Structure 1
Amino acid sequence: MARTSTAAVHHGAFHPLRVTAVDRLTADAVAVTFAVPPELRETFRYTPGQHIAVRRVANGSEVRRTYSICTPVLGAEGPEAVQVGVRLVDGGEFSTYALKELAVGDVVEVLPPAGRFTLAPRAGSFAAIVGGSGITPVLSMAATLLATRPDARFCLIRSDRTAASTMFLEEVADLKDRWPDRFQLVSVLSREDQQAGLVSGRLDQERLATLLPTLLSVESVDGWFLCGPYGLVQGAEQALRALGVPRGRVHQEIFHVDDGASPAPSRSGPPVHATLTATLDGRSGSWPVEDGETLLDSVLRHRADAPYACKGGVCGTCRAFLVSGEVRMDRNFALEPDEVEAGYVLACQSHPAGEEVELDFDR
């Protein structure tokens, strides 16, 4: 079965972008800049905090990874370039390639910006708690906000292992120099002593619950943005909850999940022989779901253009609206509670819980 509507979203369409710079940030991280041609500037228009997915085919296999855009949104005509920060991950195929082989002039396939961990510039007071490479989307948020809204303030609390491993150190220092009255910076090193400022150590729930009220008026912050490893984000969320911060003011994005510290996938229950109907880029189809596979895998068997990147429930690229039926999600580190309540699911983590399921990737 197939039907067509007038929608033309093209969720899974990659575009070849040329690399214009590969700048070393630390011994294990680089900033990669892609040129955006005039005909794609509207397609690659982004909100501060969004990410792009990159694709590379090597040795006959495809690798997809997501990286947050770190540059501010300042132009009205769409970006002439997008820049992302890439940190080396043990065994990471794309990060290894980016640090050791990627060069100016190379062409990389890139998906348009996506994601809902965003801060559209507006008046108010905002704060972020980040760890490691979690600085990348928040750097775009803070730089854009401070440059475009003189009636806004931003407090950044960042945790890094050592000073030498700190990404975008100069860029963050520049924000402090340019807007000393509206940008507050607190840096914590977990594996290195500091000569001044806070003592070293890990930012856990207990420490944050004590620290935050001494830095700013917690109740007056209009939006909190938590980004980094699962443990840091979870501890920060619990600390804010203990301080009485409303859930709607807290936004989070996980950059790394340790399997031992995160909820394990729940694959209990007998197999369900289901049929999936999915709408993607205005076209719909219905197909059987094979035992044990996710709804995303079911779609990919028939639609190679289905949107996805991490397949780990982290990036949110495969977000879809559950039109009808019931599903169970193994994990969810990407959707906000209000999105889940509204009916959205992660297709890469969803399994049918009934005989008929319908998803809409276009909503």
Structure 2
Amino acid sequence: MFHPLHVRAVEQLTDDSAALTLDVPPELRAAYAYAPGQHIALRRTNERGEEIRRTYSLCDPAGAAPETLRVGVRLVERGEFSTYALKELTEGRTVEVLPPTGRFILEPRAGHFAAVVGGSGITPVLSIAATLLKREPEARFCLIRSDRTTASTMFLEEVADLKDRYPDRFQLVTVLSREEQHSGLASGRLDEERLTALLPSLLSAPGIPAMDGWYLCGPLGLVESASKALRSLGVPRSRIHQEIFHADAGGMEGGVAANTLTTTSTSPARPAGLAGPAGSLPAGSVTVSATLAGRGGSWPMDDGESVLETVLRNRADAPYACKGGVCGTCRVRLLSGEVHMDRNYALEPEELDAGYVLACQSHPLTPKVEVDFDA
């Protein structure tokens, strides 16, 4: 459930981004413990009385009982929440926050890990790298980040601090798409062709396929390009973890980027019960049954609704954040019936095979559909 948290600080990072630090009272610290890479959903009601939710990745090292939560927010054109967060949400004000969630995580362990990030995609990876290097002395991390210019780069000081603190275990590679650097790589976008040529020269040992995990986060184009490059270089799909920011999904704004923020599969396998597009069922002919917080219910579906929208009409506590198929907050297990998902940037093939779907993107193809939010 949402809890009101006070804003401790608003730190300007670039001309169009800031870090928000939220105080967590002692009685809520266990509930807001988070794993490195997770995100939180923030909620407000606008002047029209509409509820607005956005998801932002946590960027500080993970803790079991955090006194504060810190997220990075980048201003998005016509982004209703990011505009509010950067221009109106000031120190001392209150914002409603859900406890952390998300599966784009790396629990600290020995090994050699790497990340390819773009723009505000640095936020969850900053938490992942900082937590890993602090807790696991046998771990190494390579960060390959792409930004437009130096002035637009979020968390410059925090990343530089990691490089200074762990010079033998943290490798940083920066690529700017719109600014020439005096040293390092030439400017330009990190597309599939460039990454395929670049990565082997950066990571000669233990070698690209032998890396223990790859974490890709940023705009859809960059994440897809990096994933294809890694697969062509022999990296097993199970070692590639992805989170999409800015997938042109309704409700996503920068920061799980709208930071959002989650492991994803852009070409998922189709499990039993997950079907392709089909003709619409007659209005009023579909019943959705759902179990949520231990309580079940069944309700008729209105024409054109998703499973999530039907449940929300009857259970306001149904979890969701982006409604764009990106953050994974509304993940449910499909117990019976068939659905079609419009889009999926949040579930791994293994989750789909196990029967999980995104309620916000699921449209029934059978007269009865049963889902479990608690599974």
TM over 0.5: yes
TM-score normalised by the chain length of structure 2: 0.90
1:286 aligns with 2:298: yes
Structure 2 residue runs of 5 or longer lacking an equivalent are 250-265, 268-275
- What is the CA distance between 1:220 and its match in structure 2? 1.8
**Counterpart residue number, 1:326:** 338
1:308 aligns with 2:295: no
SS of the residue aligned with 2:209? helix
- CA separation in 1, counterparts of 2:144 and 2:353? 30
1:30 aligns with 2:18: yes
**Counterpart residue number, 1:253:** 243
**Counterpart residue number, 1:4:** none
SS of the residue aligned with 1:237? helix
Which of 158, 166, 191 is the matching residue for 1:204?
191
**Structure 2 contact 209–236 (Cα < 8 Å) conserved:** no
**Structure 1 contact 187–198 (Cα < 8 Å) conserved:** yes
User: Pairwise mapping of residues 88-99 of structure 1 onto structure 2 (< 5 A)?
Assistant: 88-99=75-86
- CA separation in 2, counterparts of 1:315 and 1:219? 28
RMSD: 1.3
Letter of the structure 1 residue corresponding to residue 90 of structure 2: A
Structure 1 residue runs of 5 or longer lacking an equivalent are 1-12
Alignment deviations for residues 31-55 of structure 1 (CA, whole Å, 9 cap, x no partner): 0000111111111010000000000
- CA separation in 2, counterparts of 1:325 and 1:181? 53
Letter of the structure 2 residue corresponding to residue 50 of structure 1: Q
- CA separation in 2, counterparts of 1:317 and 1:338? 17
1:113 aligns with 2:100: yes
1:271 aligns with 2:318: no
Query: In the comparison of the two structures, how many residue pairs are matched?
Result: 345
TM-score normalised by the chain length of structure 1: 0.93
- What is the CA distance between 1:256 and its match in structure 2? 0.7
**Counterpart residue number, 2:58:** 69
**Structure 2 contact 287–298 (Cα < 8 Å) conserved:** yes
**Counterpart residue number, 1:171:** 158
Letter of the structure 1 residue corresponding to residue 182 of structure 2: Q
- What is the CA distance between 1:270 and its match in structure 2? 2.7
- What is the CA distance between 1:267 and its match in structure 2? 5.6
**Counterpart residue number, 1:296:** 308
- What is the CA distance between 1:202 and its match in structure 2? 0.2
1:228 aligns with 2:218: yes
- CA separation in 1, counterparts of 2:161 and 2:94? 30
User: Pairwise mapping of residues 343-358 of structure 1 onto structure 2 (< 5 A)?
Assistant: 343-358=355-370
Alignment deviations for residues 7-29 of structure 1 (CA, whole Å, 9 cap, x no partner): xxxxxx11100000100000000
- CA separation in 1, counterparts of 2:229 and 2:279? 35
- CA separation in 2, counterparts of 1:45 and 1:325? 36
SS of the residue aligned with 2:228? helix
Alignment deviations for residues 265-285 of structure 1 (CA, whole Å, 9 cap, x no partner): x86413252211101111110
- What is the CA distance between 1:323 and its match in structure 2? 1.3
User: Pairwise mapping of residues 108-187 of structure 1 onto structure 2 (< 5 A)?
Assistant: 108-187=95-174
- CA separation in 2, counterparts of 1:84 and 1:101? 16
Letter of the structure 1 residue corresponding to residue 281 of structure 2: P
**Counterpart residue number, 2:270:** none
